[in-house]
């Protein structure tokens, strides 16, 4: 049954299609947006459209950016000989918040999961291997501590080890089954500092 009229119902429906937004949250957001000044609503809508039009993947690490190279890859002060491999851009952001990692990243955009039909060819492994042709000294595998994350870590380790590059895995502090984006900076820092060779 339509309680609010078609315009608000349509807005609620669109908002509830976003991940993590249930119908009650969508309803609260819709009412908030409707009560905002028109200038702020236009600014919000322009920000969404501009992001959709201009955001792309960094050509080197594959994080999201609006430039050809992201700010991390284009920073000459970063240690390009140390690459941290993460599952997604949110994980990269979580490690950046620690302010202690001085290397660069590689974003896989997923993890190997035979149950879901995601194989090595479905994530950015080929691009990672191409990056290792340079002067890379260490690859830190910072995938989640889930079955898929562990499978991906072992697969990457077996691919890289023959090249003679040090392969390490983030250590304790990250709970099994936990997603990196939800873990606090201190725990992430402990995991980074306590990494072990695979």
Q: Output the pLDDT for position 92.
A: 94
Q: Output the pLDDT for position 173.
A: 63
Q: Output the pLDDT for position 6.
A: 83
Q: Output the pLDDT for position 107.
A: 97
Whole-number Å distance between alpha carbons of 147 and 161: 21
Q: DSSP code of 107?
A: E
Give the residue carrying structure tokens 């830190």.
140
CA angle 98, 96, 76 (to 5 degrees): 120
Q: Output the pLDDT for position 1.
A: 46
Q: Output the pLDDT for position 175.
A: 67
Whole-number Å distance between alpha carbons of 147 and 111: 9
Tokens representing residue 28 in the block: 């609260």
Low-confidence ranges of the chain (pLDDT < 70): 1-4, 172-177, 186, 190, 196, 198
Domains assigned to the chain: 6-54 (1.10.8.420), 64-197 (3.40.1360.10)
Angle in degrees, 0-180, between the axes of helices 6-16 and 23-35, rounded to the nearest 10: 130
Tokens representing residue 90 in the block: 């949110």
Q: Output the pLDDT for position 96.
A: 92
Q: Output the pLDDT for position 139.
A: 95
Q: Output the pLDDT for position 197.
A: 73
């Amino acid at each position: 049954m339509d309680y609010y009229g078609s315009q608000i119902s349509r807005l609620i429906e669109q908002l509830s299609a976003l991940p993590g937004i249930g119908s009650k949250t969508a309803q609260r957001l819709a009412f908030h947006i409707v009560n905002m000044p028109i200038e702020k609503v236009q600014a919000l809508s322009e920000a969404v459209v501009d992001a959709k039009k201009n955001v792309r993947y960094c050509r080197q690490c594959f994080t999201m950016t609006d430039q050809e190279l992201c700010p991390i890859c284009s920073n000459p002060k970063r240690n390009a000989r140390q690459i941290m491999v993460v599952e997604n851009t949110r994980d990269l952001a979580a490690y950046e918040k620690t302010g202690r990692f001085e290397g660069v990243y590689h974003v896989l955009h997923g993890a190997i999961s035979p149950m879901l039909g995601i194989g090595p060819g479905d994530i950015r492994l080929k691009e990672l291997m191409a990056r290792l042709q340079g002067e890379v000294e260490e690859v830190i595998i910072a995938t989640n501590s889930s079955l898929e994350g562990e499978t991906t870590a072992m697969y990457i380790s077996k691919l890289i080890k023959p090249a003679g590059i040090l392969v390490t895995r983030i250590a304790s502090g990250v709970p099994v089954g936990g997603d990196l984006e939800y873990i606090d900076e201190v725990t992430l820092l402990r995991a980074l500092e306590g990494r072990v060779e695979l």
